[in-house]
Amino acid sequence: MIPTSSDLNSTQDPAMAYNIRLKPDMPTLFEQSVAGRRGDSLRPLWTQARAPESMIPAHYLRPQPCLLPELSEPEVVRHYTRLSALNYAIDLGMYPLGSCTMKYNPKINEVVARMPGFVALHPYEPAALQQGALALMANLQDYLAEMTGLSAVTLHPSAGAQGELCGILMIRRALEKRGNARHKMIVPDSAHGTNPATASLAGYTTVKVDTNAQGMVSVESIAQLMDEDTAGLMMTCPNTLGIFEKDIQQICKIVHDRGGFVYMDGANMNALCGVARPGDFGVDVMHINLHKTFSQPHGGGGPGAGPVCANETLRPYLPVPVVVQDNGMYSLCYNKPDSIGQLRAFSCSFMVMVRAYAYIRSLGPDGILMNTHMAVLNARYLRHLLKDTFYIPYQTETLHETVFNDKWQKPYDVSTLDIAKRLIDYGYHPPTVYFPLVVQGALMIEPTESETKESLERFAEVLKQIAKEAQTQPKRLKDAPVFAPRRRFDEASAARKPILRAKRNLAPE
Ligand SMILES: *Cc1c(COP(=O)(O)O)cnc(C)c1O
C-alpha cells in the first residue's frame, strides 16, 4: 500500500499522544525518573547495612551521591525494548548501504561464539590453557592468507581504519629500514575518507589522483605521480564505484619499480573472494573488514575487525604479539625487533574472530565463491532493474555495488537526500548517499548476496515508485519520512551542536 496524504496526517491523531510505542518524543530514562523509586526487588545485603565510609577510603567516595535515574525494573526493560524496536536491522529487512556490506549474519556464528569455552576464556590465562583459541586464530590467519595470496597476517586491528594504519606503518617501517621513509602517498579521489586520514596519521602527505572517465585509476596518472619521494599508493579494489581496477597489475609494477609499496583497501573483498587474489596481482599489504566480508553484526558501533595481510617482505613489521606454533603448541610471541609495535590491548577482538571462523568454515571454499558470485549477480541485477530510473554516471560494468545519482530527479527539485528519506516511509533503510565524492548526489547501493530475487525486485519496485512520485508529487519526498519515529533532522546542527544531556527529572539534593 502506498501511503496517501491523509495517512500523513495520522501524526496529528490524538492516539499518538498516548501510544508511547509510537511517540516520537519518547521520554529518556532521566525524564521518567521518580525520586525514591527502586528497580531492584532484592532484600538488602549485609554490605548495604553498613555505611560506605566504613568500607571505602574517604578520598574514593563521591562528595554527593551520583545522580542516576530512579525507575522500576519494568520501566527500564520497556524503555530498552522500545528503543530496540525503533532500530532498523538486517533481521528486519534489506539494508542496501553501499560500501558497508550489510549482509545477513547467519545465526550459527552466534551459537559458536557463545560456546562456553570461548565465552569463559580470559586473555591472561596461560597459553597452555588457550590452545583452542590460539589454534582458531592461526587457522583464521591461514584462511585469510589463502584468500588474499598474502601470507603474513595479523588479526589485531579493530576495524578497517586501524588496519589501514597498521599497513601504512608497516610500509613506513620497511622504507625506514631501507634508509628513507619518503614523504608522499598517492590516494585516488574515489577513496574512502579513512585512506587520506590514515596516510597523514602515518606522517605522509597525500597526493590525489583523479578517477578517469571509466571510473578507474589510469596507468599514465600513476606513472606521472610515482616518484622516489613517494612511499606508495593506497588503492581500493574494486573501487568505491564498484569497478574493478583493470590496470592494477601494471600500476603495482610501476609503484614497485620506483621503490614503493601498494596498499589495498580490501573493504570490497566480498567481490573478489575465491575469484582473484590481491597478492597475485601485485598488492603488498591490505586489510579485510571482517564485519563486512565475513559477516559480523555491525552498524551499531562494533566491535568489528580489520585484519591485515601482507607479503613476506613486510612480515617482519607485523604488530606484536604474533601467534606462533612450536612443537605443536601455540603461543603469542612479543619478541619481534622490527615490529611496528602493539596496536591495541591483547591480540584481537576475539569473538569477531570466532564468528568469522564459523562463517568461513560453514561456507567452505565453494560457498565463499558462490557468495562472491551472488553478491555480484545481485548488484548487477539491481543495476539492470533501475538503469532507466536513476542515472548511472559511470557506465563501466560494476561488481558488488552500483552508484546511481539524482540527475534525472533534479529537474523536479528532488535530491538524493529526499529519495533516501522517502525510502524510510516504504520500510527500507536508505542506501549510502553522497559517497563516493566523485559522483555528485551519489546513491550507492550494495544489495549483498543475502537478498533473494524477489527481495531485489520489491526494492527496485519501491525505488521506481519513488522516482514516479518525484515527478508527480515531489512534496511527498520533501516531507519524508512521515512514517518514522523522527522526521527530518537538521543534520548540520545535530552534528555541530548536539544536545547530549536530557532534561533531568531527578530528586533534589
Ligand atoms: C568501511 C570502509 C573502510 C573503513 O572501515 P572501518 O571498519 O569502518 O574502519 C575503509 N574503506 C572502505 C572502502 C570502506 O568501505
Q: Quick one: 169 and 65 in the same domain?
A: no
Q: Quick one: 69 and 176 in the same domain?
A: no
Provide the residue type at 179 as one letter. G
Q: Whose CA is nearest to atom 6 of ligand 1?
A: 160
Kindly state if the Cβ of 400 falls inside 6 Å of ligand 1.
no
Mutate-to-test residue for ligand 1 from 166, 187, 192, 198, highest number of ligand atoms within 8 A of CB:
192
22, pLDDT greater than 70: no
Percentage of the residues of the chain whose pLDDT score is greater than 70: 92
- The more confidently predicted of residues 68 and 506 is 68
**Per-residue pLDDT, 259:** 98
Q: Is 150 among the domain residues?
A: yes
Q: What is the mean pLDDT of residues 117-128?
A: 93
Q: Is 300 among the domain residues?
A: yes
Q: The pTM is what?
A: 0.89
Among the ranges given (37-51, 73-87, 233-247, 325-339), the one the predictor scored with the smallest mean pLDDT? 37-51
Q: What is the mean pLDDT of residues 130-155?
A: 97
Task: Tell me the CA–centroid distance for residue 38 and ligand 1, in Å.
Answer: 44
Kindly state if the Cβ of 218 falls inside 6 Å of ligand 1.
no
Percentage of the residues of the chain whose pLDDT score is greater than 90: 78
**Per-residue pLDDT, 10:** 52
Q: What is the mean pLDDT of residues 26-49?
A: 79
At which of 86, 102, 117 does a domain end? 86
**Per-residue pLDDT, 82:** 86
Q: Is 5 among the domain residues?
A: no
* Residue 129 confidence class, pLDDT cut points 50, 70, 90: very high
Q: Quick one: 352 and 378 in the same domain?
A: yes
**Per-residue pLDDT, 4:** 44
Instruction: Output the CA angle 154-156-159, nearest 5 degrees.
Output: 115
CB 486 within 8 A of CB 139: no
Kindly state if the Cβ of 192 falls inside 6 Å of ligand 1.
yes
Q: Is 391 among the domain residues?
A: yes
Domain span at 311? 92-509
Q: Quick one: 260 and 114 in the same domain?
A: yes
Kindly state if the Cβ of 265 falls inside 6 Å of ligand 1.
yes
Q: Quick one: 81 and 96 in the same domain?
A: no
Q: Is 3 among the domain residues?
A: no
Overall domain count for the chain: 2
* Residue 219 confidence class, pLDDT cut points 50, 70, 90: very high
CB 338 within 8 A of CB 199: no
109, pLDDT greater than 70: yes
Mutate-to-test residue for ligand 1 from 194, 195, 234, 298, highest number of ligand atoms within 8 A of CB:
194
Q: Whose CA is nearest to atom 7 of ligand 1?
A: 160
Kindly state if the Cβ of 99 falls inside 6 Å of ligand 1.
yes
Q: Quick one: 282 and 206 in the same domain?
A: yes
Q: HEC states along 209-228?
A: ECCCCCCCCCHHHHHHHCCC
Which domain CATH number covers 479? 3.40.640.10
Q: Is 219 among the domain residues?
A: yes
Q: What is the mean pLDDT of residues 54-73?
A: 89
Cβ-based neighbours of 234, under 8 Å, separated by 6 or more: 164, 168, 185, 186, 187, 188, 191, 195, 198, 199, 263, 264, 265
Q: Whose CA is nearest to atom 5 of ligand 1?
A: 160
Q: What is the mean pLDDT of residues 183-204?
A: 97
Highest mean pLDDT: which range of 21-35, 71-85, 260-274: 260-274
Q: Is 8 among the domain residues?
A: no
Q: Is 12 among the domain residues?
A: no
**Per-residue pLDDT, 298:** 87
**Per-residue pLDDT, 508:** 44
Q: Quick one: 39 and 101 in the same domain?
A: no
CB 102 within 8 A of CB 90: yes
Q: What are the residues facing 309 on neighbouring strands?
A: 153, 286
Among the ranges given (121-135, 201-215, 216-230, 293-307), the one the predictor scored with the smallest mean pLDDT? 293-307
Q: Quick one: 221 and 100 in the same domain?
A: yes
* Residue 506 confidence class, pLDDT cut points 50, 70, 90: low
Q: What is the mean pLDDT of residues 457-470?
A: 97
5, pLDDT greater than 50: no
* Residue 97 confidence class, pLDDT cut points 50, 70, 90: very high
**Per-residue pLDDT, 504:** 59
User: Does the bond joining 303 to the residue before it have cis omega, within 30 degrees of 0?
Assistant: yes
Q: Quick one: 307 and 338 in the same domain?
A: yes
Q: Quick one: 262 and 126 in the same domain?
A: yes
505, pLDDT greater than 80: no
* Residue 140 confidence class, pLDDT cut points 50, 70, 90: very high
At which of 86, 117, 133 does a domain end? 86
Task: Tell me the CA–centroid distance for residue 267 and ligand 1, in Å.
Answer: 6
* Residue 12 confidence class, pLDDT cut points 50, 70, 90: low
Q: Quick one: 133 and 72 in the same domain?
A: no
DSSP 8-state code for residue 3:
P
Q: What is the pLDDT of residues 324-337, one digit of tens each?
A: 999 999 999 999 99
